[in-house]
Amino acid sequence: MLRMTMPAIRVYLFCILLPLLLVGCGKEEGYEIRDGKVIWHSWRGDGLSGTWSEGVLLDDARGFTILQQQGYAKNAESVFYGSRKLDGADAATFELLDQSSGLAKDAKRVYLSGAVIAGADPATFALTGMEYLGKDNKDYYLGTAPLHVRDMSTFKTVKDNTFCSQDSDHCIWAWNKFDYYVGTQATPMVDSNTFQVIQSSYAKDAKQVYFGSTVLAGADAASFQGIGGESGEFAKDAKHVYWNGEVVEGSDAKTFQLLKYRYAKDSKQAYFCYASGSPPLILAGSDAKTFEVIGPSTQGFGYAKDAK
The reported pLDDT for the residue numbered 161 is 59
* CA pair distance 275, 42, nearest whole angstrom: 38
* CA pair distance 115, 117, nearest whole angstrom: 6
The reported pLDDT for the residue numbered 49 is 74
* The three-state (H, E, C) secondary structure of 63-95, written as one string: CCEECCCCCEEECCCCEEECCEECCCCCCCCCE
Where are the chain's structural domains? 1-62, 86-146, 150-247, 258-308
* CA pair distance 76, 64, nearest whole angstrom: 8
The reported pLDDT for the residue numbered 124 is 97
The reported pLDDT for the residue numbered 162 is 55
The reported pLDDT for the residue numbered 131 is 84
* CA pair distance 179, 159, nearest whole angstrom: 17
pTM of the model: 0.80
pLDDT tens series, the chain, 308 aa: 334 444 444 444 444 444 444 444 456 899 999 999 999 999 887 656 788 899 999 999 999 999 999 999 999 999 999 999 999 999 999 999 999 889 999 999 999 999 999 999 999 999 998 888 999 999 999 999 999 999 999 999 997 655 566 666 789 999 999 999 999 999 999 999 999 999 989 999 999 999 999 999 999 999 999 999 988 999 999 999 999 999 999 999 999 999 999 999 999 999 999 887 899 999 999 999 999 999 987 776 899 999 99
Selection from 144, 110, 145, 103 nearest residue 124 by Cα: 110
